[in-house]
């Protein structure tokens, strides 16, 4: 299995990316307006984040149209992998044990996780 290197997206950038993923492709000027409204950012902040994420390969800005180069799922998976690796020495069972020890999990969520495990075992 080949794991592609997903560029790091930091917390405030992630909030920006959530907006981008919801509206893309989008004109940078429209993105500036949405970021001002939802994040309280100045236009210069939004343009700086667009430039920074473009340089890191997270998004592209062509002819003032901004679109992502990595998906929400890819960024989330990368963050989880990094956290499990750093905090739990790469052990998924240790992560799940710690998570379930401090979180209430509903029967519905347990069933959903079991279905994921079953699909994984079946090779889907």
| Full residue range of the structural domain in which residue 117 is found | 91-124
**N-to-C CA span, the chain:** 14
Tell me, yes or no, whether 34 and 65 share the same domain.
yes
Tell me, yes or no, whether 63 and 26 share the same domain.
yes
Tell me, yes or no, whether 50 and 18 share the same domain.
yes
Tell me, yes or no, whether 58 and 95 share the same domain.
no
Residue 4 lies in a domain: no
Residue 1 lies in a domain: no
Residue 79 lies in a domain: no
Residue 32 lies in a domain: yes
The reported pLDDT for the residue numbered 63 is: 96
Domain of residue 46, CATH code: 1.10.10.10
86-117: pLDDT as tens digits: 999 999 899 889 988 888 889 999 899 899 99
Tell me, yes or no, whether 62 and 30 share the same domain.
yes
The reported pLDDT for the residue numbered 2 is: 45
pTM for the predicted model, two decimal places:
0.77
Residue 120 lies in a domain: yes
**Average pLDDT of the residues of the chain:** 92
The reported pLDDT for the residue numbered 8 is: 87
The reported pLDDT for the residue numbered 4 is: 59
Residue 50 · residue 59 · CB < 8 Å: yes
Tell me, yes or no, whether 18 and 49 share the same domain.
yes
Structural domains counted in the chain: 2
Residue 85 lies in a domain: no
| pLDDT beneath 50: ranges in the chain | 1-3
Residue 30 lies in a domain: yes
Residue 68 · residue 26 · CB < 8 Å: no
Residue 88 · residue 95 · CB < 8 Å: yes
Residue 5 lies in a domain: no
Tell me, yes or no, whether 57 and 16 share the same domain.
yes
């Amino acid at each position: 299995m080949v794991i592609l290197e997903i560029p790091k997206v930091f917390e405030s950038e992630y909030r920006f990316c959530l907006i981008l993923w919801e509206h893309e492709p989008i004109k940078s000027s429209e993105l500036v307006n949405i970021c001002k409204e939802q994040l309280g950012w100045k236009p210069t902040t939004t343009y700086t984040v667009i430039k920074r994420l473009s340089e890191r390969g997270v998004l592209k800005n062509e002819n003032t149209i901004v679109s992502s180069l990595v998906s929400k799922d890819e960024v989330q998976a990368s963050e989880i992998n990094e956290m499990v690796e750093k905090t739990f020495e790469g052990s998924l069972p240790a992560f799940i044990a710690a998570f379930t020890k401090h979180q209430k999990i509903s029967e519905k969520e347990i069933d959903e996780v079991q279905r994921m495990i079953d699909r994984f075992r079946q090779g889907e």
